[in-house]
């Protein structure tokens, strides 16, 4: 986690909004609150940063000392003990796997390694490597007992990146509630929860990035007491022979998702719920994605594809007609 930028936090804007900026969980993070007493605001900031630091140190696969790295290193060799907090997270991984119909799988690290979007790819992974990674993938293969976990085959690995940021957003919102902060916006790399308003309105303006042209805004939302999550390959990808390969892998094929969908934006009551649906709908495509979302009436979905933009009717209630006052 990077050192936070406190300049906008200590010097609120005319509407009283304080903004805390830092980098963590592999992305840019923005936390905005409206709270007058500086001492109270700083205590909230300290609690927020402490939670993020502890979460990252324990569950980041990029840190050799993290619990998840120890679990992965012991794959095929030994059981690793887990505390109550880790048990809750593993139970959540199981719930996400079931709810997403197997699309969101915390054991997809072998595939993520094969398709590492951060590397320069002179050639694409061969099918043999992809099939081997698929063989090592599958949440149902994970063995658990009370207070311990075992990955039964060497090369298996856990990665909570599929829902870690969303979980963090919901946790930070809970911290803001404990501090009795009414007006707050948590934005961890396009996973957002907004509560209250921005001082001008009784809501926050949130821009939806255009999946075809990420420098542009597709639309603006007026959000309060809801989460917003967007999925797409426009931010994280690599290019090979003029074709874009995104970071969202389809666990059914082992290949980066390529179905004509550019982006998916979902509004829900929790960021975890929004994130599950945005990723699943992105992987499934327009028709199957909307079918999946239709099973959850409190989830509002907008899918941008090569053929246009589609969504369920209730999504439109959040749209702002005049897109000139975005806050995020």
What is the pLDDT, as a whole number, of residue 324?
A: 46
**Residue range 18-30: average pLDDT?**
95
**Residue range 126-131: average pLDDT?**
95
| One-letter-per-residue 3-state SS of 59-85 | HCCCCCCCHHHHHHHCCCCCCEECCHH
What is the pLDDT, as a whole number, of residue 323?
A: 46
Share of the chain above pLDDT 70, in %: 95
Helices and strands (DSSP H and E) totals, the chain = 9, 16
Give 74-121 pLDDT, tens digit per residue.
999 999 999 999 999 999 999 999 999 999 999 999 999 998 876 656
Exposed (0-12), middle (13-18) or buried (19+): which is 150, by Cβ within 10 Å? middle
What is the pLDDT, as a whole number, of residue 217?
A: 82
What is the pLDDT, as a whole number, of residue 326?
A: 47
Residue 50 pLDDT > 50: yes
| Contacts for 38 with CB less than 8 Å, ≥ 6 apart | 10
Nearest Cα to Cα of residue 219 among 139, 129, 150, 321: 321
Residue 54 pLDDT > 50: yes
Residue that has been written with the tokens 């063989």 in this structure: 135
What is the pLDDT, as a whole number, of residue 206?
A: 95
What is the pLDDT, as a whole number, of residue 246?
A: 77
Mean per-residue pLDDT of the chain:
92
**Residue range 241-250: average pLDDT?**
79
**Residue range 250-260: average pLDDT?**
92
- Check residues 83 and 311 and name the one with the higher pLDDT: 83
- Check residues 52 and 241 and name the one with the higher pLDDT: 52
Cα separation, 250 vs 238, whole angstroms: 16
Q: How confident is the model at residue 249 (pLDDT cuts 50, 70, 90)?
A: very high
At CA 305, angle to CA 111 and CA 245, rounded to 5?
30
Residue that has been written with the tokens 């199957």 in this structure: 288
Q: How confident is the model at residue 10 (pLDDT cuts 50, 70, 90)?
A: very high
Continuous segment of H or E residues that includes residue 267: strand 261-268
- Sketch out the chain's domains with CATH numbers: 67-158 (1.10.3980.10), 190-328 (3.10.520.10)
What is the pLDDT, as a whole number, of residue 72?
A: 98
Exposed (0-12), middle (13-18) or buried (19+): which is 259, by Cβ within 10 Å? middle
Sign of the C-alpha dihedral computed for residues 308, 315, 167 and 276 taken in this order: negative
Kindly list the distances between the CA atom of residue 86 and the CA atoms of 146, 282, 284, in Å, as whole numbers in the listed order. 11, 28, 30
Task: Provide the 10 A C-beta neighbour count for residue 269.
Answer: 14
Residue 145 pLDDT > 80: yes
Give 182-193 pLDDT, tens digit per residue.
999 999 998 999
Sign of the C-alpha dihedral computed for residues 227, 231, 235 and 237 taken in this order: positive
Residue 247 pLDDT > 90: no
What is the pLDDT, as a whole number, of residue 147?
A: 97
Give 109-126 pLDDT, tens digit per residue.
999 999 887 665 678 889
Where is average pLDDT lowest: 203-212, 237-246, 263-272, 286-295? 237-246
Residues across the chain? 328
What is the pLDDT, as a whole number, of residue 185?
A: 99
Contact in structure between 271 and 229 (CB atoms under 8 Å): yes
What is the pLDDT, as a whole number, of residue 1?
A: 84
Contact in structure between 299 and 281 (CB atoms under 8 Å): no
Tokens at residue 297, please? 């009436």
What is the pLDDT, as a whole number, of residue 143?
A: 98
What is the pLDDT, as a whole number, of residue 118?
A: 67
Where helices occur in 20-161 by DSSP H, the ranges are 38-59, 67-73, 84-99, 109-114, 127-135
């Amino acid at each position: 986690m990077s050192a936070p930028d406190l300049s906008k936090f200590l010097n609120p804007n005319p509407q009283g909004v304080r903004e805390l900026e830092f980098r963590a969980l592999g992305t840019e993070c923005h936390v905005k609150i409206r709270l007058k007493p500086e001492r109270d605001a700083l205590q909230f900031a300290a609690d927020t940063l402490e939670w993020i630091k502890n979460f990252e140190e324990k569950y980041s696969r990029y840190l050799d000392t993290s619990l998840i790295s120890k679990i992965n290193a012991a794959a095929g060799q030994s059981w690793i003990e887990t505390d109550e907090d880790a048990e809750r997270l593993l139970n959540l991984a199981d719930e996400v796997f079931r709810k997403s119909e197997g699309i969101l799988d915390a054991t997809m690290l072998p595939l993520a390694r094969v398709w590492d979007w951060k590397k320069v790819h002179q050639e694409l992974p061969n099918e043999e490597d992809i099939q081997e990674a698929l063989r090592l993938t599958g949440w149902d293969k994970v063995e658990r007992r009370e207070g311990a976990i075992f990955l039964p085959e060497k090369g298996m690995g856990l990665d909570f990146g599929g829902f870690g940021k969303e979980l963090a957003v919901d946790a930070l919102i809970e911290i803001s509630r404990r501090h009795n902060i009414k007006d707050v916006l948590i934005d961890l790399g396009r996973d957002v929860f907004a509560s209250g308003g921005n001082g001008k309105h009784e809501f926050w303006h949130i821009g939806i990035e255009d999946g075809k042209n990420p420098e542009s805004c597709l639309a603006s939302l007026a959000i309060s007491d809801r989460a917003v999550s967007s999925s797409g390959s426009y931010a994280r990808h690599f290019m090979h022979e003029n074709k874009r390969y995104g970071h969202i892998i389809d666990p059914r094929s082992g290949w980066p998702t390529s179905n004509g969908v550019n982006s998916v934006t979902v509004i829900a009551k929790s960021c975890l719920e929004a994130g599950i649906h945005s990723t699943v709908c992105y992987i499934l495509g327009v028709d199957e994605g909307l079918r999946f979302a239709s099973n959850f009436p409190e989830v509002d979905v907008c899918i941008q594809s090569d053929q246009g933009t589609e969504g369920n009717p209730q999504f439109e209630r959040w749209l702002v007609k005049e897109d000139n006052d975005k806050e995020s």
